[in-house]
Amino acid sequence: MIAFGENNGLSIRALPDGEPHNLVGGGIRSPRFSPSGKWISYEQNEFLFVVSIDGSKNRRITAAGPVRWSPVTDDLWMRPEDRDGIYRYSAGNDWQGPVQMIADASLGIFSPDGSEMIYTAGDPNAPNDHPVTRLCRVVLADGAHPKILESTSEDWAPYIWTRDGRSIVFWRQEEFSASEASDGDELFLMPASGGKPRSLGVTTLLYPDFLSLSPVRNELVVAAGDERNQWHNKRIAVMDLDNFAVHYLTGKDSVGLSPTWSPDGNSIAYSAEPAPAASEEQDLECGCDPASRKRLNELLSQRKIWISDRTGSRPTYRLISDSGYHEEEPLWSADGRHILFTRSDAPYIEIHGLASNQKTLWLASLDGGDPIQVTGTLYIDTGPLGFAERWSGFDWFRGR
């Protein structure tokens, strides 16, 4: 079942041949299925909502902000933009107010079984000109009495708890600087019980579709590379979290984004296009003038979905041979036989966010034959800052 936003609102559709069913009218962003598939969270008019998939219940939760579903229950954790701390809302009380709160916390990452969370919080006793980050671990069922794993003067951003439950992956930055973070942060691994962090030797941008944890191995695939421009210096790399080995699936002659694992963990799909020539990198660095935007659109129009073996030992191949479209945001079906992706033949309306107008969702078999269109034009919400997120328009429920 896919959930997607079009100009007429939020709709769902069973794949491959179900009929679309509209649930909510008006422009929405960031639809996300609950673990059971019975609920969908979304943002509309700067508020967070939850709607049942039959459309019978539609609840306004609170002001919009970062959101994360529990991995195992229909509990929604979020940090409203207008409050300090994180709050848990639940289908168990029909979404009638928060059922749990952790004060002064950022939205954290869950343990594999969903029973614990690791999050960051500021130290209220630290001076304003020398902020301190506390990395905390809490058992969510016991009233949220956290254990402080680490206190640091650096800015840490947890990404994910590994599937074996032993470690966490996080971004680490020496100073609190939004400008520095926009150029990417270095990835680190540390024990989930606390201990010395170890660098993974790779820097990525802090975007959710730049990293993906293997479903079967202790491996991470990333779009590696610093610098905020997403059309330059981004290579697909696989990292072994046990021995810290890194190998690259793409070379410097292409730019790869949105890597995602097949269900068996043996293959990786990603979106890529040719990298700018070295002689034109400086001219395209900003993408601010009409000439550079035109050239960048020429390069980005060649963006296609590619399939690679995780080890790089087998030849990489392009999923769809059609020309005239650029394709992005691949997701695998649960059986590993199909890829869902976005496609458009229109220029990018927001070059820095790589948001494209006239973007639609398509489904293709793994051999690339006869892709089918499964939505109309996806709704693009540029948000309060005028920045469009390319990954905010749809979600795919593929079972628990």
Task: Quick: pLDDT tens for 153-169.
Answer: 999 999 999 999 999 99
How high is the mean pLDDT of the chain? 90
DSSP string, 346-368: SPEEETTTTEETT-EEEEEETT-
pLDDT above 80 (res 17): yes
How sure is the predictor about 394, in pLDDT bands with cuts at 50, 70 and 90?
Answer: very high
Give the pLDDT confidence score for residue 373 in this predicted structure.
95
- Integer Cα distance of 342 and 294 in angstroms: 21
Residue 354 pairs with which residues in a beta bridge? Answer: none
Tokens describing residue 20: 């679309």
pLDDT above 80 (res 382): no
Q: Which residue has the higher pLDDT, 144 or 289?
A: 289
CA-based nearest residue to 52, from 108, 1, 114, 113: 1
How sure is the predictor about 352, in pLDDT bands with cuts at 50, 70 and 90?
Answer: low
Region 138-159 average pLDDT: 89
Region 305-323 average pLDDT: 91
pLDDT in tens, 262-313: 999 999 999 999 988 887 877 777 767 788 888 888 888 899 999 999 998 8
- Integer Cα distance of 144 and 125 in angstroms: 21
pLDDT above 80 (res 386): no
pLDDT above 70 (res 387): no
Give the pLDDT confidence score for residue 134 in this predicted structure.
93
Helix (H) or strand (E) holding 313: none
- Integer Cα distance of 187 and 198 in angstroms: 9
Give the pLDDT confidence score for residue 123 in this predicted structure.
80
pLDDT above 60 (res 106): yes
Give the pLDDT confidence score for residue 54 in this predicted structure.
95
Domains in the chain with CATH codes: 207-400 (2.120.10.30)
How sure is the predictor about 126, in pLDDT bands with cuts at 50, 70 and 90?
Answer: confident
Q: Which residue has the higher pLDDT, 41 or 103?
A: 41
- Integer Cα distance of 114 and 364 in angstroms: 33
Task: Scan for tokens 């990603």, then name that residue.
Answer: 270
Q: Give the C-alpha distances (Å, rounded to integers) separating 51 from 42, 44, 83.
A: 8, 12, 23
Give the pLDDT confidence score for residue 178 in this predicted structure.
84
pLDDT above 90 (res 389): no
CA-based nearest residue to 97, from 128, 66, 72, 76: 76
CA-based nearest residue to 117, from 107, 127, 130, 129: 107
Give the pLDDT confidence score for residue 269 in this predicted structure.
98
Give the pLDDT confidence score for residue 211 in this predicted structure.
96
- Of 49-58, 86-95, 241-250, 341-350, least confident by mean pLDDT is 341-350
